[in-house]
Structure 1
Amino acid sequence: MTEISFLTLFLIALGLSTLVQWWLSLRHSHFVGAHRAHVPDAFAERIPLPAHEKAADYTLAKTRLERIEIVIGVTLLLIWTVGGGLNALDRLWASFELSPLLTGTGFLISLFIIMAILDIPMALYRTFKLETKFDFNRTTPATFFGDQARQLMLLVLIGLPLVMLILWLMENMGQYWWLWVWAVWTGFGLFMMWAYPAFIAPLFNKFEPLEDGDLRERIQTLLSRCGFTSNGIFVVDGSRRSGHGNAYFTGLGRNKRIVFFDTLLNSLSPAEIEAVLAHELGHFHHKHIFKRIVMMTLFSLAGLALLGWLIEQPWFFAALGMQQASLHGALALFLLVVPVFTFFLHPLMAWSSRRHEFEADAFAATVSNADELIKALVKLYEENASTLTPDPLYSAFHDTHPPAPIRVAHLNRVAN
């Protein structure tokens, strides 16, 4: 392949993926807007029309913002690559005349910091304009910028030694360096899954053990019934930042935690919370987390093997705006460009995730109460202003959870 042919391929893939994203976003807006005035029959007695209209308006506002972000993302990608942004940053670090390892580490860490800073204006708009307009934002400017500072601190403290180790392996481990990098990256990912709940999440939120009472007894009984052990049941102060409610598992091995947002506990009954937890337990029962880890591990192996070949191709660098081939330059280009070519895998990944959600729902129906789960989901749809009428094609590309009517219909079937 030549420099011109790869550049042409990249631009075609970028243009096509951008047009598809834009088209899907417009379809979604039109579909949601067309169904704004009518609550789907399955929810007519449970969700009032004003709540349905709010969900539609919230979705339309988010989708408009999504289209702006598509344009910004494509513009920045072109500036970084064919526009010479990465090349300019590379020349800047080369001018310091450091060792190749320090030059590459500085280049990559500074790139990540610049990209994080460039994301702040849209995050500000999303938080203080869009979320505030629909009465979801609870974040203060001090909390917002404190979060940003902590994220940048973690990026440097964790990212710097990791990047340095990866570049050292790439330089010193011969032709098959990518196998060593893959092993380190996989180990790092597993370590972060284990360490996140105990050491990183508390930097951003306050976690309190769930108090004794009916809810805790229900949960302990459910866990015993399912043969599941965890390192604790915690309540997180999600209301400090947002009015959205959620519940999740986090951690790995014996460091697993069950976490409930305080907003969720305030809106659902104990029976409904038990049903939501039963759904989450379904993911562990069906080994969904393990399967996702295996899938992502295989994807990363294939990606690193591909990068191992691309590093040896001068046209890879020249086509994407870098005058000098380097290990750190190849990593940066690969991280920026790969999403363009993997965009059309999104429907397959979304389908797999939705299938897992159906399986978890079915498990919840066997160990808890499907009707309570339905009631909980309906409450969450309403309180989070989640649209009940997404465009089917947009949903197939983007949604990791089944659309509300399909999910509720599935729960009704497995319960009867």
Structure 2
Amino acid sequence: MTDYAFAFTLLFAAILTLGVLTKFYLASRQVRHVAQHRARVPTAFAATISLDAHQKAADYTIAKTRFGMLESAFSAAVLLGWTLLGGLDTLNQAIARAGIAEYGTLVPQLALLAAFGLISGMLDLPFTLYSTFRIEERFGFNKMTFGLWLGDLVKSTLVGLLIGLPIVALILWLMGSAGAWWWLWAWGAWMGFNLLVLVLFPTVIAPLFNKFKPLDDDALKARVTALMQRCGFAAKGLFVMDGSKRSAHANAYFTGFGAAKRVVFYDTLLKQLNPGEVDAVLAHELGHFKHKHIIKRIVSMFAMSLAGFALLGWLSTQVWFYTGLGVRPN
């Protein structure tokens, strides 16, 4: 290992450790603060929130935060195992010995990424199961059966492969065929892919998992439309999603891009809140639109991904980058 590779190994380990410690510190402060104020409803909400509801919310926050700390520690350990402990290198060498390169130079690379994603997903499954069927169940939020959860897992995996493998294959092909500026072409392809997903998600992807029906409450529809018009927001439609088949949590969101924008209400939201409270939730979402948060987020994503691809373009030519992460370059 060269001096550069050793220095990068130390830097990587230091950043990983600092990140975990920072998350633990902030999460611990949050848990202590919530626990200290669990016994009494804040004065501003005392007239509308019962002590039981307040304590349930506090206990749920503490349970989720503590579980999140465990997840963070496990994720860091897995990342360490993939990199400095040689997991990714072992997987790469095993795929290289499989002799599948004869089917094309991209095949081993796609196989490596697919195997990495599959193994990582399997390692995360116990945490997902525990979160859904223990924590969410304990607090009365989970409405999923194991069959529905398993069906979602299969569908999300297939959708990920269907839309993910082509863009990954394109980027890998550009890395080997587009010369020194491959990263710029790859960035353009990645941004186009993300914009396409924004357009397709409401009408193609989301209906694979949930049912959406037009909002049929005329009074509520009039209130919502009037509120959106005051903010200058135009949506293609107002829809209700059957969120109750998975969770008792309530929510509303905007989705889509350009002319395909739509407003979606969880059915749980409409059951739990009165019209004025629904207005308040929608007003929060409209605030994101009014302050151009969505546009700003897209621009930020463009800028950060461009910087990321440019950095990757340079690092991909540095042997110390691979060896410093415990991977032997092919």
Partner of 2:74: 72
Deviation at 1:126, TM superposition (A): 0.3
Deviation string, structure 1 residues 278-327 (Cα, Å, up to 9, x no partner): 332222222110010000110000011111111111111111111125xx
Partner of 2:197: 192
Partner of 2:9: 7
Distance (Å, rounded) in 1 between the aligned partners of 2:230 and 2:20: 48
Equivalent residue letter for 2:132: T
- Partner residue of 1:314 out of 314, 319, 322: 319
Deviation at 1:258, TM superposition (A): 0.3
The alignment's C-alpha RMSD in Å is 1.3
Partner of 1:207: 212
Aligned residue-pair number: 325
Instruction: Indicate the SS of the match to 2:259.
Output: helix
Instruction: Indicate the SS of the match to 2:53.
Output: helix
Matches within 5 A, 1:2-401: 2-97=4-99, 98=101, 99-325=104-330
Distance (Å, rounded) in 2 between the aligned partners of 1:228 and 1:55: 33
Equivalent residue letter for 1:264: L
Partner of 1:336: none
Distance (Å, rounded) in 1 between the aligned partners of 2:226 and 2:32: 46
Contact between 1:113 and 1:152, CA under 8 Å: does it hold in 2?
A: no
Equivalent residue letter for 1:273: V
Instruction: Indicate the SS of the match to 2:213.
Output: strand
TM-score (norm 2): 0.95
Distance (Å, rounded) in 1 between the aligned partners of 2:72 and 2:114: 24
Equivalent residue letter for 2:22: V
Deviation at 1:212, TM superposition (A): 4.1
Equivalent residue letter for 1:123: T
> Comparing 243-252 with 36-45, which one deviates more in the overlay?
36-45
Deviation at 1:224, TM superposition (A): 3.1
Deviation at 1:226, TM superposition (A): 3.1
Instruction: Indicate the SS of the match to 2:182.
Output: helix
Segments of structure 1 that go 5 or more residues without pairing to the other structure are 326-416
> Comparing 257-266 with 151-160, which one deviates more in the overlay?
151-160
Deviation string, structure 1 residues 27-74 (Cα, Å, up to 9, x no partner): 111111111112122112221111111111111111111121122111
Contact between 1:214 and 1:270, CA under 8 Å: does it hold in 2?
A: no
Deviation at 1:10, TM superposition (A): 0.8
Equivalent residue letter for 1:262: D
With over 3 angstroms needed to count, the CA separation of the structure-2 counterparts of 1:136 and 1:114, relative to structure 1, is same
Instruction: Indicate the SS of the match to 1:77.
Output: helix
Equivalent residue letter for 1:206: K
Deviation at 1:274, TM superposition (A): 2.4
Instruction: Indicate the SS of the match to 1:245.
Output: coil
Instruction: Indicate the SS of the match to 1:2.
Output: helix
Deviation string, structure 1 residues 87-130 (Cα, Å, up to 9, x no partner): 11111221233132111111112211221222111100000000
Instruction: Indicate the SS of the match to 1:47.
Output: coil
Distance (Å, rounded) in 1 between the aligned partners of 2:87 and 2:176: 24
Distance (Å, rounded) in 1 between the aligned partners of 2:295 and 2:230: 21
Equivalent residue letter for 2:202: P
Contact between 1:109 and 1:159, CA under 8 Å: does it hold in 2?
A: no
Equivalent residue letter for 2:156: Q
Instruction: Indicate the SS of the match to 2:48.
Output: coil
Instruction: Indicate the SS of the match to 1:139.
Output: coil
Deviation string, structure 1 residues 65-84 (Cα, Å, up to 9, x no partner): 11211221111001100111
Q: Which has the higher contact order (CA 8 A, sep 6+)?
A: 1
Equivalent residue letter for 1:117: M
Deviation at 1:227, TM superposition (A): 3.0
> Comparing 26-35 with 163-172, which one deviates more in the overlay?
26-35
